[in-house]
Amino acid sequence: MVISDDLWVQAAAFVGAGFAVGFGAIGAALGEGYAAGRAGQAISHNPSLSDDIVKTMLIGQAVAESAGIFALVVAMLLVFKDVEGESLLSAFAYLGAGLSMGLAAIGSGVGSGMPAGAACEGVARQPAALSTIRTNMLVGSAVCQTPSVFGMVVAFMLLFIDWADRPFWPTWAALLGAGISTGFSAIGPGLGNGITANEATLGVARQPETSGTLTNTMLIGLTVAQSTVIYGFLVSLILLFIPKPESMAMVAWAAPLSAGICMGLGGIGPGIGEGITAAYAVRRVARDVEQNVLLTRVMLVGQAVSESTGIYSLIVSLLLIFVV
Amino acid sequence: MESVAKRALALTLAACLILAVMGRLAWAKGLALGGLVSVVNFALMAWLLPKAVGMSRRRSEGWAFGSLALRFSLMALALGLCLYKPQSLSVAACAAGLFVVQLTLLTDRFLPERWREATWGVNERWKT
């Protein structure tokens, strides 16, 4: 039995859809479950505030679900994609799209659930600051979604750009590598941002009058922690838009695929590490707001050191793309 | 929660009317479908998830996954309908509509305090 190219492309689109919505649902469900668990704890500490705590939980969960909805949209586009007459290269583009979106949604989904859980705990401790706590939670949760937006942008490029004019060898590896690079590298920053936003929300509950300073410090920490997903996105763009000459040599296809894997995996650790650094800084700012400038400076130095392995990954990826 | 749903529906309706006046009927219908499903998803979430509080850990995990599967199926159905009939329902507008509740939640936080009090029933009590 001979399987046509159309059938392979259709199968790859279905597998890509499975990756997108499957990984996306893991992130959303874990984030929502985490928020619900901490809401339950908060209610057991202060049952009289159960109404406010449940409302806060639901608001946080609604935002945490956004990455899952991005993943669902990409999955549905893959399922209903008209593949008639498409080249075999599209199969790898669709697999890459599913991986990019699904993996990126894991970090953002789990990360967004963390400030939601912290807000529930904060409301139980400091009900008078309910509105301020919710505002900080929403800002933190919304920023946590940014890595999944990068994943979605790469998925859309893989889905909607026509790659038919490129040679099959080694472009298939570049398309798959592009999806892997942004997908994996978004996991770390999503989780790291969640860890920071969690501490900032607890800090606002502890000292509501410092909320302005805390939110600013949190935003600086979150922005720096997102650097590695930007590196992953950059590697994806290079892989997608700098065409390579046709070659079936093993090095020609292994290099772009390895570049994507290198940057993708290399972005996970620094993203989480930088988030932890920012979380400790934010926690101390909530206790001693006068030391904000010094703590922010130390946080930035710590984050820069933590990021160095992400930069090594970027350099090795660029070497694999341009030198090998 | 009702006020959030009402604001989200009002926002959807206003955007749909603008699109309809501009002659973009497929966009208006897609956005209306997406916005409606977004509000129904939020209402289902508000109804189903609080029931998980107080259950055993295993049961609450199963309940949360079941709720997520149900709500994702609903959204997938709306997107699938748009992808099946793209001439009369815009897929992009429907996808944008699915985020109406999230947009309402985020924008409400930055409204003037007087309006926010009306929506959320709370104020900055710690300041007084």
- List the 99-118 stretch of A: residues with Cβ below 8 A of B: none
A36 and B53 within 8 Å at the Cβ level: the answer is yes
- Please name which of A6, A18, A37 lies closest in space to residue A98, comparing C-alpha atoms: A18
Supply the pLDDT for residue B126. Answer: 44
Contacts of B52 in chain A (CB under 8 A): 36
Supply the pLDDT for residue B50. Answer: 79
Residue B127, amino acid:
K
Supply the pLDDT for residue A150. Answer: 96
Give one DSSP letter per residue of A212-274, joined into a string. Answer: HHHHHHHHHHHHHHTHHHHHHHHHHHHHHHS-------HHHHHHHHHHHHHHHHHTHHHHHHH
B75 and A69 within 8 Å at the Cβ level: the answer is yes
- Which residue of B1, B122, B127, B128 to mutate against A (max A Cβ within 10 Å)? B122
How high does pLDDT run on average in chain B? 83
Q: Would you say residue B124 has pLDDT above 50?
A: no
Measured CA to CA in angstroms, residue B55 lies from A4, A25, A174, B49 at distances of 51, 22, 47, 11
Q: Domain ranges in chain B?
A: 2-121
Contacts of A29 in chain B (CB under 8 A): 64-65, 68
* Number of Cβ pairs < 8 A linking chain A and chain B: 100
Does A311 lie at the interface with B, CB-CB under 8 angstroms?
Answer: no
Average pLDDT score over residue span A19-34? 91
Q: What ipTM score was computed for the predicted complex, to two decimals?
A: 0.79
Give the span between the Cα atoms of A89 and A182, in whole angstroms. Answer: 19
A73 and B79 within 8 Å at the Cβ level: the answer is yes
Tens digit of each residue's pLDDT (9 = 90 or more) over A278-310: 999 999 999 999 999 999 999 999 999 999 999
How high does pLDDT run on average in chain A? 93
Average pLDDT score over residue span A1-5? 78
> Residues of chain A with pLDDT > 90: what percent?
82
Supply the pLDDT for residue B119. Answer: 54
Average pLDDT score over residue span A77-93? 92
Q: Domain ranges in chain A?
A: 5-322
Give the span between the Cα atoms of A146 and A142, in whole angstroms. Answer: 7
- CATH code of the domain occupying A5-322: 1.20.120.610
Average pLDDT score over residue span B110-124? 56
Searching chain B, which residue's CA lies closest to the CA of residue A129? B126
Q: Comparing A130-139, A248-257, A290-299, B60-69, which segment has the lowest mean pLDDT?
A: B60-69
Give the span between the Cα atoms of A280 and A168, in whole angstroms. Answer: 48
What is residue A282's DSSP assignment? H
> Residues of chain B with pLDDT > 70: what percent?
81
Searching chain B, which residue's CA lies closest to the CA of residue A139? B106
Tens digit of each residue's pLDDT (9 = 90 or more) over A139-155: 999 999 999 999 999 99
Helix or strand run (H / E) with residue A22: helix A5-45
Contacts of A61 in chain B (CB under 8 A): 45, 49
Supply the pLDDT for residue B118. Answer: 53
Q: Would you say residue A245 has pLDDT above 60?
A: yes
Give the span between the Cα atoms of A153 and B16, in whole angstroms. Answer: 26
| Burial degree of B108 (CB within 10 A; 0-12, 13-18, 19+) | buried
Q: Would you say residue B63 has pLDDT above 90?
A: no
Average pLDDT score over residue span B31-51? 90
Q: Do the beta carbons of residue A175 and residue A96 sit within 8 Å? A: yes
Supply the pLDDT for residue B123. Answer: 46
- List the 42-61 stretch of B: residues with Cβ below 8 A of A: 42, 45-46, 49-50, 52-54, 60-61
